[in-house]
Copies of this chain bind each other. A is one copy, B any other.
Amino acid sequence: MRLNESGKTSSVTRGTIRAVAEELFAENGIHGVTTRALAEKAGVNMAAVNYHFGNKDNLTMAVFRDVARRSVQRRLDNLARIEAEAEARGVSPSLKDTVEAFVDAYVNEDTPRTGVLLAHLVLQHRVRPTEWTRAIVQEELDDFALSYMEALRRAAPHLAENVLHWRYHFMVGAVMMSLSDQTSDGRMRRLSGGLCDPENRVEFKAQMVSFLVDSFGQPETAEIRMAHADP
Binding site for B on A (CB under 8 A): 29-32, 119-120, 123-129, 134, 137-138, 142, 145-146, 149, 161-163, 165-167, 169-178, 180-181, 183-185, 187-188, 190-192, 195-196, 198, 200, 202-203, 205-208, 210-212, 214-215, 217-218, 220-221, 223-224, 226-228, 230-231
Contact = CB atoms under 8 A, between A and B. Distances in A.
Copies in the complex: 2
A192 B168 CA distance: 11
Contacts of A226: 206
B191 A210 contact: no
B223 A180 contact: no
Contact of A191 (B146, B173, B190): B146
A127 B178 contact: no
Nearest to A204: B166
Nearest to A166: B207
A221 B138 CA distance: 37
B231 A177 contact: no
A211 B215 contact: yes
Given A123-B127, A126-B183, A215-B215, A162 B195 contact: yes
B123 A126 contact: yes
